Structure 1
Amino acid sequence: MGCQLSALTAVGVVGSGTMGRGIAESVLRAGVRVVLRDSSSNALSQARKHIESSMNRSVDRGHLSAQEVSVLLALLDPVETPASLSDCQLVIEAVPEILEIKLAVLASIEDHVSHSAVIASNTSSIPITRLARALRNPSRFVGLHFFNPVARMPLVEVVRTVHSNDSSVAATRHFVESLLGKSPIVIGDRPGFLVNALLIPLLLAAARMLDSGYADAESIDASMRLGCGHPMGPLELSDFIGLDVVCAAADAMYAESRDPALVVPSNLRRLVEAGHLGAKSGHGFLSPKRTNGAEE
Protein backbone atom coordinates (compact mmCIF):
# COMPACT_ATOMS: atom_id res chain seq x y z
CA MET A 1 0.00 0.00 0.00
CA GLY A 2 2.99 2.23 0.38
CA CYS A 3 2.08 3.00 4.02
CA GLN A 4 1.39 1.18 7.25
CA LEU A 5 -2.32 1.00 7.97
CA SER A 6 -1.63 1.85 11.58
CA ALA A 7 -0.68 5.28 10.19
CA LEU A 8 -3.70 5.53 7.91
CA THR A 9 -5.00 9.10 7.75
CA ALA A 10 -7.91 8.89 5.31
CA VAL A 11 -10.11 6.23 3.75
CA GLY A 12 -12.32 7.00 0.76
CA VAL A 13 -15.72 5.38 0.35
CA VAL A 14 -17.45 5.92 -3.00
CA GLY A 15 -21.20 5.38 -2.81
CA SER A 16 -23.31 6.45 0.17
CA GLY A 17 -26.07 3.82 0.06
CA THR A 18 -26.65 1.14 2.66
CA MET A 19 -23.25 -0.52 2.29
CA GLY A 20 -21.25 2.66 1.68
CA ARG A 21 -22.53 4.46 4.73
CA GLY A 22 -22.11 1.29 6.81
CA ILE A 23 -18.47 0.98 5.77
CA ALA A 24 -17.95 4.69 6.38
CA GLU A 25 -19.39 4.43 9.89
CA SER A 26 -17.16 1.46 10.75
CA VAL A 27 -14.06 3.38 9.67
CA LEU A 28 -15.18 6.50 11.56
CA ARG A 29 -15.65 4.46 14.73
CA ALA A 30 -12.00 3.43 14.38
CA GLY A 31 -11.09 7.12 14.57
CA VAL A 32 -10.02 7.53 10.94
CA ARG A 33 -11.14 10.31 8.61
CA VAL A 34 -13.57 9.18 5.90
CA VAL A 35 -14.02 10.92 2.57
CA LEU A 36 -17.51 9.80 1.57
CA ARG A 37 -18.12 10.51 -2.09
CA ASP A 38 -21.43 10.46 -3.95
CA SER A 39 -22.68 12.38 -6.98
CA SER A 40 -25.90 13.23 -5.09
CA SER A 41 -25.82 15.86 -2.36
CA ASN A 42 -29.14 14.55 -1.07
CA ALA A 43 -27.73 11.01 -0.77
CA LEU A 44 -24.74 12.37 1.16
CA SER A 45 -27.03 14.31 3.50
CA GLN A 46 -29.14 11.20 4.13
CA ALA A 47 -26.01 9.11 4.74
CA ARG A 48 -24.72 11.57 7.33
CA LYS A 49 -28.08 11.59 9.11
CA HIS A 50 -28.13 7.80 9.13
CA ILE A 51 -24.59 7.58 10.55
CA GLU A 52 -25.34 10.23 13.18
CA SER A 53 -28.53 8.42 14.18
CA SER A 54 -26.67 5.12 14.48
CA MET A 55 -23.98 6.68 16.66
CA ASN A 56 -26.59 8.37 18.84
CA ARG A 57 -28.14 4.97 19.49
CA SER A 58 -24.72 3.93 20.79
CA VAL A 59 -24.90 6.88 23.17
CA ASP A 60 -28.30 5.68 24.40
CA ARG A 61 -26.79 2.24 25.05
CA GLY A 62 -23.82 3.72 26.89
CA HIS A 63 -21.24 2.61 24.30
CA LEU A 64 -20.26 6.15 23.25
CA SER A 65 -20.52 9.58 24.83
CA ALA A 66 -22.13 12.53 23.07
CA GLN A 67 -18.72 14.19 22.96
CA GLU A 68 -17.17 11.13 21.30
CA VAL A 69 -19.92 11.13 18.66
CA SER A 70 -19.21 14.79 17.94
CA VAL A 71 -15.50 14.05 17.49
CA LEU A 72 -16.16 11.06 15.21
CA LEU A 73 -18.69 12.89 13.05
CA ALA A 74 -16.14 15.66 12.53
CA LEU A 75 -13.99 13.05 10.75
CA LEU A 76 -16.68 12.56 8.07
CA ASP A 77 -16.06 14.54 4.90
CA PRO A 78 -18.99 14.20 2.44
CA VAL A 79 -17.88 15.22 -1.08
CA GLU A 80 -19.29 15.19 -4.60
CA THR A 81 -16.06 15.50 -6.58
CA PRO A 82 -13.63 12.59 -7.17
CA ALA A 83 -10.64 14.93 -6.80
CA SER A 84 -11.38 15.02 -3.05
CA LEU A 85 -10.13 11.41 -2.80
CA SER A 86 -6.57 12.46 -3.60
CA ASP A 87 -5.14 12.08 -0.07
CA CYS A 88 -6.81 8.73 0.70
CA GLN A 89 -4.49 5.75 1.12
CA LEU A 90 -7.37 3.31 0.61
CA VAL A 91 -10.52 3.86 -1.45
CA ILE A 92 -13.45 1.43 -1.30
CA GLU A 93 -16.00 1.46 -4.12
CA ALA A 94 -19.53 0.69 -2.91
CA VAL A 95 -21.81 1.75 -5.77
CA PRO A 96 -24.72 -0.34 -7.16
CA GLU A 97 -24.02 -3.83 -8.51
CA ILE A 98 -23.99 -2.77 -12.16
CA LEU A 99 -20.80 -3.64 -14.03
CA GLU A 100 -20.69 -0.54 -16.26
CA ILE A 101 -21.20 1.81 -13.32
CA LYS A 102 -18.51 0.12 -11.26
CA LEU A 103 -16.01 0.16 -14.12
CA ALA A 104 -16.54 3.88 -14.67
CA VAL A 105 -16.28 4.67 -10.96
CA LEU A 106 -13.12 2.60 -10.50
CA ALA A 107 -11.43 4.29 -13.45
CA SER A 108 -12.32 7.69 -11.98
CA ILE A 109 -10.93 6.70 -8.59
CA GLU A 110 -7.60 5.68 -10.12
CA ASP A 111 -7.39 9.01 -11.93
CA HIS A 112 -7.52 10.91 -8.63
CA VAL A 113 -5.54 8.89 -6.07
CA SER A 114 -1.82 8.45 -5.55
CA HIS A 115 0.11 5.61 -7.19
CA SER A 116 0.56 3.95 -3.79
CA ALA A 117 -3.14 3.91 -2.81
CA VAL A 118 -5.00 0.62 -2.69
CA ILE A 119 -8.34 0.50 -4.51
CA ALA A 120 -11.01 -2.00 -3.43
CA SER A 121 -14.52 -2.99 -4.46
CA ASN A 122 -17.27 -4.05 -2.10
CA THR A 123 -19.04 -6.07 -4.81
CA SER A 124 -20.87 -9.17 -3.61
CA SER A 125 -21.09 -10.95 -6.94
CA ILE A 126 -19.17 -9.35 -9.83
CA PRO A 127 -15.77 -11.00 -10.40
CA ILE A 128 -12.97 -8.81 -9.07
CA THR A 129 -10.81 -9.72 -12.07
CA ARG A 130 -13.50 -8.37 -14.40
CA LEU A 131 -13.61 -5.11 -12.45
CA ALA A 132 -9.81 -4.88 -12.50
CA ARG A 133 -9.89 -4.20 -16.22
CA ALA A 134 -10.97 -0.63 -15.39
CA LEU A 135 -7.55 0.06 -13.86
CA ARG A 136 -4.20 0.79 -15.42
CA ASN A 137 -2.53 -0.81 -12.40
CA PRO A 138 -4.65 -3.80 -11.32
CA SER A 139 -1.95 -5.05 -8.94
CA ARG A 140 -3.23 -2.70 -6.23
CA PHE A 141 -6.86 -3.78 -6.62
CA VAL A 142 -8.66 -6.22 -4.32
CA GLY A 143 -12.17 -7.12 -3.27
CA LEU A 144 -13.31 -6.06 0.20
CA HIS A 145 -16.71 -7.68 0.63
CA PHE A 146 -18.48 -6.41 3.75
CA PHE A 147 -21.79 -7.82 4.96
CA ASN A 148 -24.98 -6.01 5.91
CA PRO A 149 -25.43 -4.59 8.50
CA VAL A 150 -21.76 -3.62 8.36
CA ALA A 151 -21.57 -2.39 11.97
CA ARG A 152 -22.71 -5.75 13.37
CA MET A 153 -21.30 -8.27 10.92
CA PRO A 154 -17.75 -9.29 11.92
CA LEU A 155 -16.68 -10.94 8.65
CA VAL A 156 -15.04 -9.31 5.63
CA GLU A 157 -13.94 -11.27 2.56
CA VAL A 158 -10.64 -10.08 1.12
CA VAL A 159 -10.65 -11.21 -2.50
CA ARG A 160 -7.44 -11.34 -4.48
CA THR A 161 -7.04 -11.76 -8.22
CA VAL A 162 -4.12 -13.08 -10.26
CA HIS A 163 -3.06 -9.43 -10.56
CA SER A 164 -3.22 -8.50 -6.87
CA ASN A 165 0.19 -8.02 -5.28
CA ASP A 166 0.97 -9.45 -1.87
CA SER A 167 1.44 -6.06 -0.23
CA SER A 168 -2.03 -4.83 -1.21
CA VAL A 169 -3.65 -8.02 0.07
CA ALA A 170 -1.67 -7.91 3.32
CA ALA A 171 -2.44 -4.23 3.84
CA THR A 172 -6.19 -4.64 3.34
CA ARG A 173 -6.25 -7.67 5.60
CA HIS A 174 -4.44 -5.67 8.27
CA PHE A 175 -6.92 -2.81 7.78
CA VAL A 176 -9.88 -5.14 8.35
CA GLU A 177 -8.38 -6.96 11.32
CA SER A 178 -6.37 -4.35 13.21
CA LEU A 179 -8.20 -1.13 12.44
CA LEU A 180 -11.82 -2.25 12.08
CA GLY A 181 -11.59 -5.17 14.51
CA LYS A 182 -13.30 -7.52 12.07
CA SER A 183 -12.34 -11.00 10.88
CA PRO A 184 -10.88 -11.17 7.36
CA ILE A 185 -10.97 -14.26 5.16
CA VAL A 186 -8.65 -14.14 2.15
CA ILE A 187 -10.02 -16.00 -0.86
CA GLY A 188 -9.38 -16.23 -4.57
CA ASP A 189 -11.68 -14.66 -7.15
CA ARG A 190 -14.30 -17.39 -7.48
CA PRO A 191 -18.03 -17.12 -8.25
CA GLY A 192 -19.75 -15.85 -5.11
CA PHE A 193 -16.42 -15.77 -3.28
CA LEU A 194 -16.95 -17.93 -0.16
CA VAL A 195 -20.05 -16.83 1.74
CA ASN A 196 -22.36 -16.38 -1.25
CA ALA A 197 -21.09 -19.60 -2.82
CA LEU A 198 -22.57 -21.34 0.22
CA LEU A 199 -25.52 -19.05 0.92
CA ILE A 200 -27.12 -18.28 -2.45
CA PRO A 201 -27.82 -21.94 -3.40
CA LEU A 202 -29.51 -22.37 0.00
CA LEU A 203 -31.73 -19.32 -0.49
CA LEU A 204 -32.67 -20.45 -3.99
CA ALA A 205 -33.41 -23.98 -2.77
CA ALA A 206 -35.83 -22.56 -0.20
CA ALA A 207 -37.55 -20.42 -2.86
CA ARG A 208 -37.73 -23.46 -5.14
CA MET A 209 -39.34 -25.57 -2.38
CA LEU A 210 -41.92 -22.84 -1.85
CA ASP A 211 -42.56 -22.55 -5.59
CA SER A 212 -43.17 -26.30 -5.92
CA GLY A 213 -45.54 -26.49 -2.96
CA TYR A 214 -43.12 -28.72 -1.04
CA ALA A 215 -43.90 -26.77 2.14
CA ASP A 216 -45.23 -23.37 3.15
CA ALA A 217 -42.96 -20.43 3.91
CA GLU A 218 -43.32 -20.65 7.68
CA SER A 219 -42.42 -24.35 7.74
CA ILE A 220 -39.40 -23.88 5.49
CA ASP A 221 -38.03 -21.12 7.70
CA ALA A 222 -38.86 -22.93 10.94
CA SER A 223 -37.01 -26.02 9.73
CA MET A 224 -33.74 -24.09 9.47
CA ARG A 225 -34.24 -22.07 12.64
CA LEU A 226 -35.30 -24.94 14.86
CA GLY A 227 -33.56 -27.82 13.11
CA CYS A 228 -30.24 -26.21 12.22
CA GLY A 229 -29.98 -23.35 14.73
CA HIS A 230 -30.01 -20.59 12.11
CA PRO A 231 -31.01 -17.19 13.55
CA MET A 232 -33.52 -16.69 10.71
CA GLY A 233 -34.91 -18.90 8.00
CA PRO A 234 -33.78 -18.67 4.36
CA LEU A 235 -36.94 -16.93 3.10
CA GLU A 236 -36.84 -14.34 5.88
CA LEU A 237 -33.14 -13.86 5.18
CA SER A 238 -33.86 -13.38 1.48
CA ASP A 239 -36.40 -10.70 2.37
CA PHE A 240 -33.85 -9.03 4.64
CA ILE A 241 -31.06 -9.08 2.04
CA GLY A 242 -33.39 -7.93 -0.74
CA LEU A 243 -34.89 -10.27 -3.32
CA ASP A 244 -33.37 -8.18 -6.12
CA VAL A 245 -29.95 -8.57 -4.53
CA VAL A 246 -30.39 -12.34 -4.24
CA CYS A 247 -31.45 -12.54 -7.89
CA ALA A 248 -28.56 -10.40 -9.09
CA ALA A 249 -26.03 -12.44 -7.12
CA ALA A 250 -27.47 -15.73 -8.40
CA ASP A 251 -27.50 -14.52 -12.01
CA ALA A 252 -23.90 -13.33 -11.80
CA MET A 253 -22.73 -16.58 -10.23
CA TYR A 254 -24.67 -18.69 -12.75
CA ALA A 255 -23.10 -16.76 -15.64
CA GLU A 256 -19.69 -17.76 -14.30
CA SER A 257 -20.34 -21.36 -13.28
CA ARG A 258 -23.47 -22.60 -15.12
CA ASP A 259 -24.33 -24.46 -11.92
CA PRO A 260 -28.05 -25.43 -12.10
CA ALA A 261 -28.35 -24.83 -8.36
CA LEU A 262 -27.96 -21.13 -9.17
CA VAL A 263 -30.94 -20.88 -11.55
CA VAL A 264 -33.41 -18.39 -10.07
CA PRO A 265 -36.83 -20.05 -9.53
CA SER A 266 -39.83 -18.40 -11.16
CA ASN A 267 -41.56 -17.27 -7.96
CA LEU A 268 -38.51 -15.27 -6.89
CA ARG A 269 -38.06 -13.77 -10.35
CA ARG A 270 -41.72 -12.73 -10.52
CA LEU A 271 -41.62 -11.06 -7.12
CA VAL A 272 -38.65 -8.97 -8.23
CA GLU A 273 -40.34 -8.08 -11.51
CA ALA A 274 -43.38 -6.92 -9.52
CA GLY A 275 -41.20 -4.70 -7.33
CA HIS A 276 -41.71 -6.92 -4.29
CA LEU A 277 -38.14 -6.82 -3.04
CA GLY A 278 -38.56 -7.95 0.56
CA ALA A 279 -38.29 -5.87 3.73
CA LYS A 280 -37.17 -2.69 1.96
CA SER A 281 -40.32 -2.59 -0.19
CA GLY A 282 -42.70 -4.05 2.40
CA HIS A 283 -43.52 -7.03 0.16
CA GLY A 284 -41.61 -10.27 -0.27
CA PHE A 285 -41.79 -13.89 0.76
CA LEU A 286 -42.85 -13.00 4.31
CA SER A 287 -43.60 -9.25 4.06
CA PRO A 288 -46.56 -9.29 4.14
CA LYS A 289 -47.16 -12.89 5.19
CA ARG A 290 -47.10 -15.19 2.19
CA THR A 291 -47.95 -18.83 1.58
CA ASN A 292 -46.69 -20.67 -1.49
CA GLY A 293 -45.67 -17.37 -3.09
CA ALA A 294 -49.17 -15.80 -2.94
CA GLU A 295 -50.28 -12.99 -0.69
CA GLU A 296 -52.91 -13.90 1.88
Structure 2
Amino acid sequence: MTSASVPPAVVGVIGGGRMGAGIAQSFAAAGSTVVVVEHDDATAAVALDRIANGLRRAAERGGLGEPAARDAPGPVTAVSSTAQLPHDADLVVEAVPEDAALKARLLAAAEQAVGDRCVLATNTSSLPVTELAAALTRPGRFLGMHFFNPVPVSALVELVLGPETTRETLDAAVGWTHTLGKQEVVVQDSPGFASSRLGLALGLEAIRMVEEGVADPEAIDTAMRLGYRHPMGPLRLTDLVGLDVRLAIAEHLHATLGERFAPPPLLREKVARGELGRKTGQGFHRWQ
Protein backbone atom coordinates (compact mmCIF):
# COMPACT_ATOMS: atom_id res chain seq x y z
CA MET A 1 0.00 0.00 0.00
CA THR A 2 1.24 3.46 -0.85
CA SER A 3 0.83 6.53 1.32
CA ALA A 4 -2.83 7.42 1.74
CA SER A 5 -1.97 11.13 1.25
CA VAL A 6 -1.60 10.58 -2.51
CA PRO A 7 -3.70 8.63 -5.01
CA PRO A 8 -2.81 4.97 -5.46
CA ALA A 9 -0.16 4.80 -8.17
CA VAL A 10 -1.71 1.76 -9.87
CA VAL A 11 -5.37 0.77 -9.67
CA GLY A 12 -7.12 -2.28 -11.10
CA VAL A 13 -10.87 -2.18 -11.77
CA ILE A 14 -12.64 -5.47 -12.45
CA GLY A 15 -15.63 -4.72 -14.67
CA GLY A 16 -15.99 -1.87 -17.12
CA GLY A 17 -19.73 -1.23 -16.93
CA ARG A 18 -21.26 2.06 -15.81
CA MET A 19 -19.97 1.76 -12.23
CA GLY A 20 -16.58 0.25 -13.09
CA ALA A 21 -15.95 2.83 -15.79
CA GLY A 22 -16.89 5.62 -13.38
CA ILE A 23 -14.49 4.28 -10.76
CA ALA A 24 -11.73 3.97 -13.36
CA GLN A 25 -12.41 7.51 -14.62
CA SER A 26 -12.23 8.94 -11.11
CA PHE A 27 -8.89 7.34 -10.29
CA ALA A 28 -7.46 8.23 -13.70
CA ALA A 29 -8.54 11.83 -13.18
CA ALA A 30 -6.66 11.82 -9.87
CA GLY A 31 -3.50 10.68 -11.68
CA SER A 32 -3.52 6.92 -11.09
CA THR A 33 -2.51 4.42 -13.75
CA VAL A 34 -5.66 2.33 -14.24
CA VAL A 35 -6.07 -1.18 -15.64
CA VAL A 36 -9.61 -2.34 -16.37
CA VAL A 37 -10.45 -6.05 -16.57
CA GLU A 38 -13.13 -7.05 -19.07
CA HIS A 39 -13.91 -10.51 -20.39
CA ASP A 40 -13.26 -9.89 -24.10
CA ASP A 41 -11.87 -7.32 -26.53
CA ALA A 42 -15.28 -5.97 -27.55
CA THR A 43 -16.46 -5.17 -24.04
CA ALA A 44 -13.01 -3.83 -23.16
CA ALA A 45 -13.20 -1.43 -26.10
CA VAL A 46 -16.64 -0.23 -24.98
CA ALA A 47 -15.32 0.32 -21.44
CA LEU A 48 -12.28 2.27 -22.62
CA ASP A 49 -14.47 4.41 -24.87
CA ARG A 50 -16.85 5.09 -21.99
CA ILE A 51 -13.97 6.18 -19.74
CA ALA A 52 -12.35 8.34 -22.45
CA ASN A 53 -15.66 10.07 -23.15
CA GLY A 54 -16.20 10.68 -19.45
CA LEU A 55 -12.76 12.24 -19.09
CA ARG A 56 -13.32 14.36 -22.19
CA ARG A 57 -16.69 15.66 -21.00
CA ALA A 58 -15.23 16.43 -17.57
CA ALA A 59 -12.36 18.34 -19.18
CA GLU A 60 -14.82 20.33 -21.29
CA ARG A 61 -16.64 21.36 -18.12
CA GLY A 62 -13.38 22.78 -16.79
CA GLY A 63 -10.34 20.97 -15.48
CA LEU A 64 -11.39 17.37 -15.11
CA GLY A 65 -14.51 18.17 -13.18
CA GLU A 66 -13.32 16.56 -9.95
CA PRO A 67 -11.82 18.35 -6.94
CA ALA A 68 -8.68 16.20 -6.85
CA ALA A 69 -8.12 16.19 -10.62
CA ARG A 70 -4.64 16.78 -11.95
CA ASP A 71 -3.70 18.60 -15.15
CA ALA A 72 -3.62 15.32 -17.08
CA PRO A 73 -5.29 12.00 -16.24
CA GLY A 74 -3.32 8.84 -15.71
CA PRO A 75 -3.23 6.21 -18.48
CA VAL A 76 -6.09 3.72 -18.75
CA THR A 77 -5.68 0.31 -20.39
CA ALA A 78 -7.71 -2.89 -20.49
CA VAL A 79 -6.89 -6.57 -20.08
CA SER A 80 -9.04 -9.68 -20.52
CA SER A 81 -8.21 -11.59 -17.32
CA THR A 82 -7.70 -10.89 -13.63
CA ALA A 83 -4.44 -12.83 -13.99
CA GLN A 84 -3.18 -9.85 -16.02
CA LEU A 85 -3.69 -7.34 -13.24
CA PRO A 86 -0.43 -5.50 -12.41
CA HIS A 87 1.48 -7.21 -9.62
CA ASP A 88 2.40 -3.77 -8.24
CA ALA A 89 -1.22 -2.56 -7.98
CA ASP A 90 -1.95 -0.62 -4.81
CA LEU A 91 -5.72 -1.11 -5.07
CA VAL A 92 -8.06 -3.41 -6.99
CA VAL A 93 -11.79 -2.63 -6.99
CA GLU A 94 -14.26 -5.30 -8.13
CA ALA A 95 -17.31 -3.75 -9.83
CA VAL A 96 -19.21 -6.59 -11.52
CA PRO A 97 -22.95 -7.39 -11.18
CA GLU A 98 -24.43 -8.35 -7.81
CA ASP A 99 -23.64 -12.06 -8.00
CA ALA A 100 -21.87 -13.25 -4.85
CA ALA A 101 -20.28 -16.32 -6.46
CA LEU A 102 -18.96 -14.28 -9.39
CA LYS A 103 -17.56 -11.59 -7.12
CA ALA A 104 -15.88 -14.12 -4.81
CA ARG A 105 -14.30 -15.95 -7.74
CA LEU A 106 -12.91 -12.77 -9.30
CA LEU A 107 -11.63 -11.40 -6.01
CA ALA A 108 -9.84 -14.67 -5.24
CA ALA A 109 -8.25 -14.61 -8.70
CA ALA A 110 -7.21 -10.98 -8.26
CA GLU A 111 -5.58 -11.81 -4.93
CA GLN A 112 -3.38 -14.35 -6.70
CA ALA A 113 -2.30 -11.79 -9.30
CA VAL A 114 -1.28 -8.87 -7.10
CA GLY A 115 1.30 -8.33 -4.38
CA ASP A 116 0.77 -8.96 -0.69
CA ARG A 117 0.22 -5.29 0.18
CA CYS A 118 -2.45 -4.53 -2.42
CA VAL A 119 -5.85 -3.54 -1.01
CA LEU A 120 -8.77 -5.45 -2.49
CA ALA A 121 -12.22 -3.86 -2.48
CA THR A 122 -15.72 -4.72 -3.63
CA ASN A 123 -18.18 -2.15 -4.92
CA THR A 124 -21.17 -4.26 -3.87
CA SER A 125 -24.16 -2.25 -2.73
CA SER A 126 -25.69 -4.95 -0.54
CA LEU A 127 -23.90 -8.33 -0.54
CA PRO A 128 -22.14 -9.30 2.71
CA VAL A 129 -18.50 -8.22 2.73
CA THR A 130 -17.83 -10.94 5.31
CA GLU A 131 -18.91 -13.69 2.91
CA LEU A 132 -16.80 -12.29 0.08
CA ALA A 133 -13.81 -12.03 2.41
CA ALA A 134 -14.09 -15.77 3.07
CA ALA A 135 -12.84 -16.39 -0.47
CA LEU A 136 -9.53 -14.64 0.29
CA THR A 137 -6.39 -15.87 2.02
CA ARG A 138 -5.64 -12.39 3.40
CA PRO A 139 -9.03 -10.89 4.35
CA GLY A 140 -7.40 -8.17 6.46
CA ARG A 141 -6.59 -6.17 3.33
CA PHE A 142 -10.17 -6.38 2.01
CA LEU A 143 -13.16 -4.07 2.50
CA GLY A 144 -16.17 -2.69 0.71
CA MET A 145 -15.77 0.56 -1.25
CA HIS A 146 -19.33 1.33 -2.26
CA PHE A 147 -19.28 4.11 -4.85
CA PHE A 148 -22.43 5.87 -6.03
CA ASN A 149 -23.76 6.50 -9.52
CA PRO A 150 -22.62 8.58 -11.36
CA VAL A 151 -19.26 7.94 -9.74
CA PRO A 152 -17.24 10.91 -11.06
CA VAL A 153 -19.60 13.52 -9.58
CA SER A 154 -20.98 11.65 -6.56
CA ALA A 155 -19.55 12.96 -3.29
CA LEU A 156 -19.85 9.77 -1.20
CA VAL A 157 -17.98 6.50 -0.78
CA GLU A 158 -19.36 4.04 1.79
CA LEU A 159 -16.49 2.06 3.32
CA VAL A 160 -17.70 -1.28 4.67
CA LEU A 161 -15.56 -3.13 7.20
CA GLY A 162 -15.37 -6.88 7.40
CA PRO A 163 -14.52 -8.49 10.75
CA GLU A 164 -10.85 -8.85 9.75
CA THR A 165 -10.31 -5.58 7.87
CA THR A 166 -7.16 -4.00 9.32
CA ARG A 167 -6.78 -0.41 10.45
CA GLU A 168 -4.06 0.06 7.85
CA THR A 169 -6.45 -1.02 5.09
CA LEU A 170 -9.15 1.35 6.31
CA ASP A 171 -6.72 4.26 6.62
CA ALA A 172 -5.51 3.70 3.06
CA ALA A 173 -9.08 3.58 1.73
CA VAL A 174 -10.03 6.76 3.61
CA GLY A 175 -7.01 8.60 2.23
CA TRP A 176 -7.64 7.45 -1.33
CA THR A 177 -11.29 8.48 -1.02
CA HIS A 178 -10.15 11.99 -0.09
CA THR A 179 -7.76 12.17 -3.04
CA LEU A 180 -10.80 11.65 -5.28
CA GLY A 181 -12.45 14.66 -3.66
CA LYS A 182 -15.05 12.45 -1.98
CA GLN A 183 -16.24 11.96 1.60
CA GLU A 184 -16.30 8.57 3.27
CA VAL A 185 -18.72 7.08 5.75
CA VAL A 186 -17.48 4.00 7.60
CA VAL A 187 -19.99 1.27 8.43
CA GLN A 188 -19.85 -2.27 9.74
CA ASP A 189 -20.87 -5.11 7.47
CA SER A 190 -24.65 -5.54 7.63
CA PRO A 191 -27.29 -6.36 5.00
CA GLY A 192 -27.65 -3.32 2.75
CA PHE A 193 -25.07 -1.42 4.84
CA ALA A 194 -26.42 2.07 5.65
CA SER A 195 -27.08 3.68 2.28
CA SER A 196 -28.71 0.83 0.33
CA ARG A 197 -30.85 -0.22 3.29
CA LEU A 198 -32.31 3.25 3.89
CA GLY A 199 -32.49 4.20 0.23
CA LEU A 200 -34.25 0.98 -0.69
CA ALA A 201 -36.80 1.34 2.12
CA LEU A 202 -37.83 4.74 0.75
CA GLY A 203 -37.84 3.53 -2.84
CA LEU A 204 -39.98 0.46 -2.14
CA GLU A 205 -42.54 2.53 -0.24
CA ALA A 206 -42.72 4.98 -3.13
CA ILE A 207 -43.40 2.07 -5.52
CA ARG A 208 -46.17 0.81 -3.23
CA MET A 209 -47.73 4.29 -3.29
CA VAL A 210 -47.82 4.17 -7.09
CA GLU A 211 -49.41 0.69 -6.91
CA GLU A 212 -52.08 1.97 -4.53
CA GLY A 213 -52.86 5.01 -6.66
CA VAL A 214 -51.79 7.49 -3.97
CA ALA A 215 -50.04 9.67 -6.55
CA ASP A 216 -48.20 9.38 -9.85
CA PRO A 217 -44.39 9.02 -9.91
CA GLU A 218 -43.76 12.67 -10.81
CA ALA A 219 -45.86 13.90 -7.89
CA ILE A 220 -44.13 11.57 -5.42
CA ASP A 221 -40.68 12.62 -6.61
CA THR A 222 -41.58 16.32 -6.55
CA ALA A 223 -42.89 15.97 -3.00
CA MET A 224 -39.58 14.57 -1.81
CA ARG A 225 -37.48 17.08 -3.75
CA LEU A 226 -39.33 20.19 -2.68
CA GLY A 227 -40.69 19.05 0.67
CA TYR A 228 -37.61 17.22 1.98
CA ARG A 229 -34.89 18.75 -0.21
CA HIS A 230 -33.81 15.45 -1.75
CA PRO A 231 -31.73 16.09 -4.88
CA MET A 232 -34.03 13.72 -6.78
CA GLY A 233 -37.12 11.74 -5.88
CA PRO A 234 -37.02 8.04 -4.93
CA LEU A 235 -38.59 6.85 -8.18
CA ARG A 236 -36.27 8.84 -10.45
CA LEU A 237 -33.40 7.50 -8.35
CA THR A 238 -34.73 3.97 -8.83
CA ASP A 239 -34.69 4.59 -12.59
CA LEU A 240 -31.12 5.84 -12.38
CA VAL A 241 -29.92 2.86 -10.32
CA GLY A 242 -31.86 0.40 -12.49
CA LEU A 243 -35.05 -1.39 -11.54
CA ASP A 244 -33.34 -4.75 -11.98
CA VAL A 245 -30.59 -3.71 -9.57
CA ARG A 246 -33.16 -2.46 -7.06
CA LEU A 247 -35.08 -5.73 -7.36
CA ALA A 248 -31.95 -7.80 -6.71
CA ILE A 249 -31.12 -5.75 -3.61
CA ALA A 250 -34.72 -5.99 -2.39
CA GLU A 251 -34.71 -9.76 -2.78
CA HIS A 252 -31.47 -10.02 -0.81
CA LEU A 253 -32.72 -7.77 2.01
CA HIS A 254 -36.09 -9.53 2.02
CA ALA A 255 -34.28 -12.82 2.62
CA THR A 256 -32.03 -11.41 5.33
CA LEU A 257 -34.09 -8.70 7.06
CA GLY A 258 -37.68 -9.76 6.57
CA GLU A 259 -40.99 -8.75 5.04
CA ARG A 260 -40.48 -4.99 5.19
CA PHE A 261 -38.16 -5.36 2.18
CA ALA A 262 -40.48 -7.60 0.12
CA PRO A 263 -40.36 -6.37 -3.51
CA PRO A 264 -43.70 -4.84 -4.59
CA PRO A 265 -45.43 -6.67 -7.46
CA LEU A 266 -45.19 -3.54 -9.62
CA LEU A 267 -41.40 -3.64 -9.40
CA ARG A 268 -41.33 -7.29 -10.52
CA GLU A 269 -43.76 -6.55 -13.36
CA LYS A 270 -41.68 -3.68 -14.71
CA VAL A 271 -38.48 -5.70 -14.61
CA ALA A 272 -40.23 -8.58 -16.39
CA ARG A 273 -41.35 -6.14 -19.13
CA GLY A 274 -37.80 -4.84 -19.53
CA GLU A 275 -38.64 -1.41 -18.09
CA LEU A 276 -35.38 -1.04 -16.19
CA GLY A 277 -35.10 2.73 -15.97
CA ARG A 278 -32.75 5.12 -17.72
CA LYS A 279 -30.70 2.39 -19.39
CA THR A 280 -33.74 1.13 -21.33
CA GLY A 281 -35.50 4.49 -21.73
CA GLN A 282 -38.47 3.57 -19.54
CA GLY A 283 -38.90 2.93 -15.83
CA PHE A 284 -41.17 4.96 -13.58
CA HIS A 285 -40.31 7.87 -15.87
CA ARG A 286 -39.60 8.08 -19.60
CA TRP A 287 -35.98 8.91 -20.46
CA GLN A 288 -34.58 10.41 -23.64
TM-score in terms of structure 1 length: 0.90
Give CA deviations for 1:168-219 in whole Å, capped at 9, x if unaligned: 1111111111x21210111100111111121100000000011112222222
Which residue of structure 2 aligns with residue 280 of structure 1?
Answer: 279
1:131-170 alignment, distance < 5 Å: 131-170=132-171
User: Aligned in 2, Cα 1:286/1:108: closer, same or farther, shift over 3 Å?
Assistant: same
1: distance between equivalents of 2:271 and 2:12? 32
Q: Structure 2, unaligned stretches of length 5 or more?
A: none
**How far does the alpha carbon of each residue in 1:135-182 deviate from its partner, in whole angstroms, 9 at most, with x for none?**
1111111000000000010100111011111111111111111x2121
Q: Write the mapping of 1:77-226 to structure 2, written as runs, cut at 5 A.
A: 77-85=77-85, 86-177=87-178, 179-226=179-226
Which one-letter code corresponds to 1:242 in the other structure?
A: G
DSSP 3-state at the match of 2:249: helix
SS in 1 for 2:186: strand
Residue 27 of structure 2 is aligned to residue 27 of structure 1: yes
> Distance in 1 between the 2:280 and 2:145 partners?
27
Aligned length: 283
Contact 2:48/2:77 (8 A) holds in 1: no
The answer to whether the Cα contact below 8 Å between 1:221 and 1:233 also exists between their aligned partners in 2 is yes
Tell me how far apart the structure 1 counterparts of residues 202 and 270 of structure 2 sit (CA, whole Å). Answer: 18
8 Å Cα contact 2:160-2:187 kept in structure 1 = yes
1: CA distance, partners of 2:245 / 2:193: 15
If the length of structure 2 is used for normalisation, what is the TM-score?
A: 0.92
- Quickly say closer, same or farther: Cα 1:70–1:37, change in 2 above 3 A: farther
**Distance across 2 between alignment mates of 1:229 and 1:43:** 38
Is residue 157–residue 184 contact of structure 1 (8 Å, CA) maintained in 2? yes
The secondary structure found in structure 1 opposite 2:198 is helix
For residue 133 of structure 1, what is the amino acid of its counterpart?
A
Three-state SS of the structure 1 residue aligned to 2:280 is coil
Provide structure 1 residue ranges, at least 5 long, that are not aligned to the other structure.
290-296
| Structure 1 outlier segments of 4+, above 3 Å | 68-71
The match for 2:257 is 257
Task: Give yes or no for contact 1:35–1:84 (8 Å, CA) kept in 2.
Answer: no
Distance 1:105 1:149 in 2: 24
